[in-house]
Amino acid sequence: MAMVEKIDVLGVIGVGLIGGSFALGLKHAGKVQQVLGYGRDEKSIAQARALGLIDKSVSIAEIAQQADVIVIATPVKAFPNVLRELAPHLRAETIVSDVGSTKAEVIRQAREILGDKIGQFVPAHPIAGSHTSGPTAAIPDLFQDRNVIITPLAENSAASVELMTELWQCCGAKVQLLAQSKDHDDIFAAVSHFPHFLAASYMSFMESDPVRQQALKMGGTGFRDFTRIAAGSPEMWRDIFLSNQEAMLEQMTAFEKEFAYIRGLLENKDAEGLYDWLDKAAKTRKEWKLLDSE
């Protein structure tokens, strides 16, 4: 059970779906007194204020000076600039965390930029989200019964990792610690990043030809379910692919082999081989569970 008492000031940099939902989740749980927000675009940060995701819009320097806990929730390729702006103003007792979908590059860059303040950075990644984005998409229970992965650094104090764990638990999440950021990135290339690549590839393929464009109009629930994630933010996913390039390329190489194998089964009219392949896939999907919620 979460033990954390109220934190006075939370700073959210990039108040969209994930940053906004984290702020709302903590507000609903009564765990934060005030939320300061920073966004690059005035309209969106005004929306975040109007929706009650944040109490005040301020600069990154003001967040560094005033917040007890800071969460970076922009697309991952924007992290270095944010960290560079935070670093000179950061108080020694402040914890900086993030919600980025990749971890190895993020940690490498944070080490370079934060220097001897790296112990203040507790890397995290909630495994919950949506194909919607921006402040209007934020909801307080987005993380309820969902995993959050923390990849602690050797320099982190036990207390800082514990505090971030408890804050996520206050949002209803189940926190898991993963020691190696490379393991994190390999795992999420397989279960998140490469699946997104496949869904986006398919939608792009459908769009690229007039006959397939017509066919799109006839698609049903299967097509809807298979392609939902392709509607996600192009900016966010571009950054994820670039940041996890090596693991993505490994998935592509492995999948090319799988594709060639299945193609071979069909070309050879190998009914038994096709059945076995589909049977294995169906069993694996039926046994798969999204935490305890299915």
Ligand X SMILES: O=C(O)C(=O)CC1(C(=O)O)C=CC(O)C=C1
Residues that bind ligand NAD (CB under 6 A): 13-19, 39-41, 44, 73-76, 78, 99-101, 126, 129-130, 133-134, 233, 236, 240
Q: How far is the CB of 146 from ligand NAD (least distance, A)?
A: 10
Nearest alpha-carbon partner for 77 in 109, 36, 45, 55: 109
Q: How far is the CB of 89 from ligand X (least distance, A)?
A: 28
Question: Which of ligand NAD, ligand X, none sits in contact with 44, Cβ below 5 to 8 A by type?
Answer: ligand NAD
Binding of residue 130 to ligand X (CB under 6 A): yes
Q: How far is the CB of 74 from ligand NAD (least distance, A)?
A: 4
Cα distance between residue 52 and residue 47, in whole Å = 9
Nearer to ligand X, 156 or 244 (CB): 244
Q: Which of residues 216-235 bind ligand X (CB under 6 A)?
A: 229, 232
Nearer to ligand X, 31 or 193 (CB): 193
Question: Which of ligand X, ligand NAD, none sits in contact with 192, Cβ below 5 to 8 A by type?
Answer: ligand X
**Count of residues engaged in binding ligand X, rule: CB under 6 A:** 9
Question: Which of ligand X, ligand NAD, none sits in contact with 133, Cβ below 5 to 8 A by type?
Answer: ligand NAD
Question: Which of ligand X, ligand NAD, none sits in contact with 17, Cβ below 5 to 8 A by type?
Answer: ligand NAD
Cα distance between residue 50 and residue 47, in whole Å = 5
Binding of residue 192 to ligand X (CB under 6 A): yes
Binding of residue 131 to ligand X (CB under 6 A): yes
Pick the piece of the chain touching ligand X (CB under 6 A) from 77-85, 122-130, 152-160, 203-211.
122-130
In three-state form (DSSP H/G/I as H, E/B as E, the rest C), the secondary structure along the chain is CCCCCCEEEEEEECCCHHHHHHHHHHHHCCCEEEEEEECCCHHHHHHHHHCCCCCEECCHHHHHHHCCEEEECCCHHHHHHHHHHHHHHCCCCCEEEECCCCCHHHHHHHHHHHHHHHHHEECEEECCCCCCCCHHHCCCCCCCCCEEEECCCCCCCHHHHHHHHHHHHHCCCEEEECCCHHHHHHHHHHHHHHHHHHHHHHHHHHHCCHHHHHHHCCCCHHHHHHHHHHHCCHHHHHHHHHHCHHHHHHHHHHHHHHHHHHHHHHHCCCHHHHHHHHHHHHHHHHHCCCCCCC
Binding of residue 127 to ligand X (CB under 6 A): yes
Binding of residue 243 to ligand X (CB under 6 A): no
Q: How far is the CB of 98 from ligand X (least distance, A)?
A: 11
Instruction: Select the residue interacting with ligand X from 129, 135, 152, 172 (CB under 6 A).
Output: 129
Binding site for ligand X (CB under 6 A): 101, 127-131, 192, 229, 232
